Chain A
Amino acid sequence: MTTPLTKAAFYDVDGTLIRTNVVHAYAYYAMNRGSVLGTLGRSLSTLASLPLFGAMDSFNRKVFNEFFYQYYEGLSEDRLITLAEDLFEDVLKDALFKESKDLLDEARRSGCRNVLVSGALDFTIRPLARYLGVDDLIANKMQFVGGRATGKVIPPIIEGANKANVIRDYCVKHKLQLDKCHAYSDSASDYAMLTIVGRPTAVNPDSKLRSLARAYNWPILDLK
């Protein structure tokens, strides 16, 4: 009989395990919309919105996500799932840091459940989760009506402080010790997720998180 695991490692995905973010995913969908005109229109509007996305992301990740997911409105569920597989093969797999798998293996060997906690949409990340062999995936869920995306995310949106809430709930549900758990993120917007666990680690951190990690003596990893 195997001993039940008492701790988990929670990973942010974008920028932490892969060198990409939701903007790339959306751009991929936009460029694969279907008709030539549709593709062109969506690609151009995405391109035009990039500076706005950047500004919003640095200002507030929650506002950014809510605003961003509106762009999915009208896309069919089947198409999104199919595209997610292609997205993984064409974009995410290559964007995965070479050392990400090592980190997950090391956590698994130390007796952790591996859990991805991402602000991306679940169907986008699922192929990656499968590839990495993680135990669980916590991600945003798109609302679908009549098989088409409404552009709205089923609350609570997984971001910022909510990441900490879902991690706590996950630990209660699975009888894990929060103070023995690890969390990995690249962004200061995940500060709550990092502080709620006993063993936070900054991965390829932005300057704000780097200074926080230095101040709180958290380890800093530079995944390549």
Chain B
Amino acid sequence: MRPLKTLKQLYDEESHITWQEKGSPPRALFSGEDFLLEDVPVGTRIISARPPLEGVPNVKAAIRWAINHPEGMEPLHALLRPGMKVTLAVDDISLPLPPMRTPDVRQQVMEIVLELLADSGVDDVHIIIANALHRRMTEAEMKRMVGERIFDAFYPDRYYNHDAEDPDGMAEMERTSHGEVVRINRRAAESDLLIYVNINLVPMDGGHKSVGTGLADYESLRAHHNARTIRETESYMEPKRSALHRSVERIGRVVDKNLKVFHIETVLNNRMFDGPVEFLMKKEEDYTEFDRLKFQSMKYALSRMPRAAKRKLFFNIPAAYDVIGVFAGATEPTHDKTLELSWKQYSVPVEGQADIAIFGVPYVSPYNVNSIMNPLLLQVMGLGYLFNLNRGVPLVKKGGVIILTHPAYDEFDPEHHPSYIEFFNRLLPETRDAMVLEHRYEREFAKNPSYVHLYRKGNAYHGAHPFYMWYWGENGRQHVGKVIVAGAENNHVPELMGWERTDTLSEAIEQARGFMGRSASISLVKIPPILQVDVR
């Protein structure tokens, strides 16, 4: 007889897979800033996230324990000397998604670390947001991230965004064995100690990527943020099978050789929704009557609201993430611990690939917090993130169909994404070939003084960033046979992407079956909350 422990494990591993039957409820899906409630064909495999892991009971105690018992390094207090120069670097607003309820875990880590620095006689302290070529965070966002006390004490002279285009602000180290340029923020590079405070939501974050990417500039990022490296990357979520991560690791090792880096990595669970919207974490089978009522009311209300108001509403609902682990110390051993826990939360075992994969695309991606999910970001969500959330084997078979539910509106935020507008309107009509785009236009966009200025002084993503978005979708583009956007409100956005459109999800499924055959297997991934399929 199977022991009770094994039975429990079986239940846990399979509870996230539901098969659509005759009496199964319709499925709730995101479609940008709206909800859909759709019947899917009988036999569709519904893949849901694991339940949130329990948060640590006392976050500050966990942080203290981690910095006092680090991996592969001396405890933080033992590394400090009076009068030394210390820089704290922190992940930017692209993590976590959506932004978490305050106090942000970065604030909690910094409150402890800054107190320790002050007690150790370390006064020369700067806090740098490791935004790489992402947009600068606004003053209000910066304040929200670290809390009023730290903000008032450090902003703006000692708490600021990284500026990858500051001609005097970058320092170059020796090149890697592969000739990759290693150039990072000068203040960080010239510090006696760099403390990196990270948030890990998915396994592609953290580790060497923190410093090697977050504090780097365009010339350094070019080594791995290019179409070829992306094509050679089997799995983004497993650093060991990722050409991108191998390059980042080589860069990170040069950084570690030249600079003492103490990492503090935090892992969050997947509790994106709680309170009145907690039902969005559930399977439809588990909805109560009240949940159904709430869902229908929200769906109706959203369908009547202007899009900008819907965005405002969603971005005002912070996520209720709990901290499930804190690890500290040297880059690699610390990150190994982080990855182990991250997989435990986010990995969902799945038996076999599917001919057709359906993803509901929500209103937010890492690059449009407090902004618009423009067509390029829709592309990166579908073919970048959602396609790549796996461990080397994509959910959809080679030549299969991906269905995205989203209005695919032709809207851009000129403050955050000015270079995206030109990329979409000028370059995509010419070619969708990532190699050609990179070769012909990337440097021109990266060096465009208007885009450089908007990145440095405004809140714009760097001129090279839309290219990275396009490369990110490269593996998905090479792999799938067709992408259909269900509910696209226009023809030209899907057409420029090389996709097809339908009015409804049912029509998209019919079209996909027409392409893959009537007996095609269908999987629907319920995101958010975030999950990664582990296809066996």
Q: Which of A112, A214, A220, A222 interacts with B449 by CB under 8 Å?
A: A112
Q: Which residues does chain A contribute within 8 Å of B444, judged by CB atoms?
A: 180
Tell me whether A102 and B450 are in contact in the complex, defined as CB-CB below 8 angstroms, given that A214-B414, A217-B421, A219-B418 are known contacts.
Answer: no
Distance A199 CA – B454 CA, assembled complex (angstroms): 14
**Which A82-119 residues sit within 8 Å CB-CB of chain B?**
99, 102-103, 105-107, 109-112
Taking the closest CB of chain B, its distance from the CB of A208, in whole angstroms, is 17
Whether the pair B453, A103 counts as a contact (CB closer than 8 A) is yes
Q: Which residues does chain A contribute within 8 Å of B421, judged by CB atoms?
A: 217
Whether the pair A106, B165 counts as a contact (CB closer than 8 A) is yes
Is A185 an interface position by the 8 A CB rule? no
**Which A171-193 residues sit within 8 Å CB-CB of chain B?**
180, 182, 184
Is A65 an interface position by the 8 A CB rule? no
| Dominant SS among interface residues on chain B | helix
Is B439 an interface position by the 8 A CB rule? no
Whether the pair A219, B447 counts as a contact (CB closer than 8 A) is no
Whether the pair A103, B458 counts as a contact (CB closer than 8 A) is no
Q: How big is the B interface, by class?
A: 20 to 34
Q: Which residues does chain A contribute within 8 Å of B418, judged by CB atoms?
A: 219-220
Distance A109 CA – B448 CA, assembled complex (angstroms): 10
Taking the closest CB of chain B, its distance from the CB of A201, in whole angstroms, is 4
| Dominant SS among interface residues on chain A | mixed
Whether the pair A99, B450 counts as a contact (CB closer than 8 A) is no
Tell me whether A199 and B450 are in contact in the complex, defined as CB-CB below 8 angstroms, given that A217-B421, A220-B418 are known contacts.
Answer: yes
Taking the closest CB of chain A, its distance from the CB of B169, in whole angstroms, is 13
Tell me whether A217 and B449 are in contact in the complex, defined as CB-CB below 8 angstroms, given that A99-B457, A102-B457 are known contacts.
Answer: no
Distance A192 CA – B359 CA, assembled complex (angstroms): 46
Taking the closest CB of chain B, its distance from the CB of A190, in whole angstroms, is 15
Whether the pair B414, A102 counts as a contact (CB closer than 8 A) is no
Q: Which residues does chain A contribute within 8 Å of B457, judged by CB atoms?
A: 99, 102, 224
Whether the pair B452, A110 counts as a contact (CB closer than 8 A) is yes
Distance A91 CA – B451 CA, assembled complex (angstroms): 30
Distance A222 CA – B415 CA, assembled complex (angstroms): 10
Distance A224 CA – B165 CA, assembled complex (angstroms): 19
Distance A102 CA – B426 CA, assembled complex (angstroms): 27
Taking the closest CB of chain B, its distance from the CB of A187, in whole angstroms, is 17
Give the 8 A-B CB pairs with smallest separation, nearest first: A107-B449, A110-B447, A106-B449, A201-B450, A219-B450, A217-B421, A106-B452, A219-B418
Q: A residues near B, CB below 8 A?
A: 9, 99, 102-103, 105-107, 109-112, 180, 182, 184, 199, 201, 214, 217, 219-222, 224
11 contacts between A and B (CB under 8 A): A9-B449, A103-B453, A105-B167, A106-B165, A109-B452, A182-B448, A217-B425, A219-B418, A219-B419, A219-B422, A222-B458
